Structure 1
Amino acid sequence: MYEVVCATTNPAKIQAILRAFSEIFGEASCHIASVDVESGVPEQPFGSHETRTGARQRVINARQACPQADFWVAIEAGIDDDSTFSWVVIENAQQRGEARSATLPLPAVILEKVRAGEALGPVMSAWTGIDEVGRKEGAIGVFTGGKLTRSSVYHQAVILALSPFHNAIYR
């Protein structure tokens, strides 16, 4: 059984990681643990570089906190080109996999507040009235009418980032 450490306590992210690892390695093949670690970037990262840096730093910090694990996984959400997206970084002792998620264009009313210094999650919670919406369906769920959720989009990116770990062509 693989020990997988999620560098987050966010239920939407943990659900995506668990689902993806179960699909790739088999049901009940992984034990998922969660650790709250710093990203080293602002609460609301801007741009692909800053967002990926946050995910990489979370993996580094998770490895330091739980060095005995088989995998360390981080998902960092950011804003780029007026859209929200995330970077997924996965490492084991030998290699790293990274993938960027799909993007969701954000309305001007939301972007205005985020550009003024507020993080997307609290802005969305205030706008929708949904407490901690970022730990649930997220902006993605709100703006797609539930057709996609934060977790479902993360799930796809986790599957992509796992590609180097189960396909021999990457080795």
Structure 2
Amino acid sequence: MKIVVGSKNPTKIKAVQEIFPEADVASKDVPSKVSAQPFSDIETREGAINRAKQCKDVSSGSIGIGLEGGVMHVEDELYLCNWGALVTEDEQVFTASGARIVLPKEIDEELQRGIELGDIMDHYASRDEVRKKEGAIGIFTKDRISRQEMFSHVVKMLRGQWEYWSKE
């Protein structure tokens, strides 16, 4: 089985490798075709689908997986959100969403000024490359949940759906 992940981010690639250990997992940097910082479930999901669709065309017989992080408002609070998509060679699309956690007001204010969450988190946490390591979820859960774990959960849901529906 060949899987192409629509990102060069190591947390996303490792999540797919963990859940599909038998697969030949490759990665390709493809655009999400949504905002650099998605601001809703709809936009974040769309970005994941767009990445997965582009990846499934990379090599014959491959499955494409797109994983996208974003933010969304619920009433007056901003939450971290994430979506994944798996697209099969015959164009079946499976999607899943994962953990959500409220973000501090000052992060919402910086996002509203057009700064991406990954850049904000580096400054906020006084760390480098947070998006490629623990992610905002890791910072705000005191490393109890990492970005890779969060995406692994989403990939488990994608794999489960795909296996269920492809056996029918």
TM-score normalised by structure 1 residue count: 0.90
Q: RMSD of the TM alignment (CA)?
A: 1.5
Are 2:163 and 1:166 equivalent residues in the alignment?
yes
Q: Deviations over 1:97-151 (max 9, x none)?
A: 1101111110111111112111100000011121110010011111111100111
Q: Which residue of 1 aligns with 2:64?
A: 72
1:63 paired residue among 56, 60, 63: 56
Give the SS at the match of 1:40: coil
- Change over 3 Å in CA distance of 1:112–1:52 after alignment to 2: same
In the alignment, residue 13 of structure 1 is paired with which amino acid?
K
2: distance between equivalents of 1:126 and 1:106? 15
Q: TM-score, normalised by structure 2?
A: 0.91
User: 1 CA distance for matches of 2:152 and 2:106?
Assistant: 28
Distance in 1, matches of 2:51 and 2:140, equals 28
- Cα distance, 1:168 vs structure 2: 5.1
Counterpart in 2 of 1:152?
Answer: 149
2:25 aligned with 1:32: yes
Aligned residue pair count: 163
2:41–2:72 Cα contact (<8 Å) kept: yes
Alpha-carbon distance in 2 for matches of 1:75, 1:145: 23
**Conservation of the 8 A alpha-carbon contact between 2:55 and 2:63:** no
Q: Which runs of 5+ in 1 are unaligned?
A: 23-28
Given that residues 56 and 88 in structure 2 are in contact (C-alpha distance below 8 angstroms), is that contact kept between their aligned partners in structure 1?
no
5+ long unaligned stretches in structure 2: none
Deviation beyond 6 Å, 4+ runs, structure 1: none
The amino acid that maps onto 2:70 is G
| Contact residue 73 and residue 91 of structure 1 kept, 8 A | yes
User: Taking every aligned residue pair, what percent have the same amino acid on both sides?
Assistant: 30
Instruction: State how far apart, in whole Å, the 1-side matches of 2:24 and 2:50 are.
Output: 22
Return the alpha-carbon distance in structure 2 between the equivalents of residues 14 and 110 of structure 1.
27
